[in-house]
Amino acid sequence: MSQQQYTHAAIWVIIAEALLGFGDKAVEYFRMINPVEHTRTKDGVIKYKVEPYSIAADIYGQGNLVGRGGWTWYTGSSSWMYISGIKYILGLNIENGFMSFKPSISRNWKEYTVRYKFGESVYNIRVKNPNGRSNTIEKVILNGNIVEEQRIQLNSKSGVNEVEVIM
Query: What is d(CA 26, CA 103) in angstroms, rounded to the nearest whole number?
Result: 11
Going by pLDDT thresholds of 50, 70 and 90, the confidence category of residue 158 is very high
CATH number of domain containing 130: 2.60.420.10
Mean of the per-residue pLDDT values for the chain? 91
Nearest to 100 by CA among 39, 65, 142: 142
Instruction: Verify that 100 and 133 share a domain, yes or no.
Output: yes
**Residue 45 domain-assigned?**
yes
**Residue 89 domain-assigned?**
no
Instruction: Verify that 66 and 40 share a domain, yes or no.
Output: yes
- Interior angle at CA 9, CA 95 and CA 60, nearest 5: 140
Q: Does residue 54 contact residue 38 with C-beta atoms inside 8 Å?
A: no
**Residue 148 domain-assigned?**
yes
Instruction: Verify that 107 and 59 share a domain, yes or no.
Output: no
pTM of the model: 0.88
Question: Count of domains in the chain?
Answer: 2
Instruction: Verify that 9 and 71 share a domain, yes or no.
Output: yes
Instruction: Verify that 62 and 109 share a domain, yes or no.
Output: no
Q: Is 114 helix (H, G, I), strand (E, B) or coil?
A: strand
What is the average pLDDT across 97-120? Answer: 98
Instruction: Verify that 103 and 139 share a domain, yes or no.
Output: yes
Pairing of strands 69-70, 151-153: unpaired
**Residue 87 domain-assigned?**
no
H or E, element range at 48: helix 42-48
Q: Which residues span the domain enclosing 160? A: 95-166
**Residue 134 domain-assigned?**
yes
Q: Establish how many alpha carbons lie within 13 A of residue 153's alpha carbon, considering only the half-sphere containing its beta carbon.
A: 2
**Residue 86 domain-assigned?**
no
Query: What is d(CA 27, CA 89) in angstroms, rounded to the nearest whole number?
Result: 7
For the cut 90, the answer to whether the pLDDT of residue 62 exceeds it is no
**Residue 139 domain-assigned?**
yes
Q: Which pLDDT value is given to residue 72?
A: 82
Instruction: Verify that 50 and 105 share a domain, yes or no.
Output: no
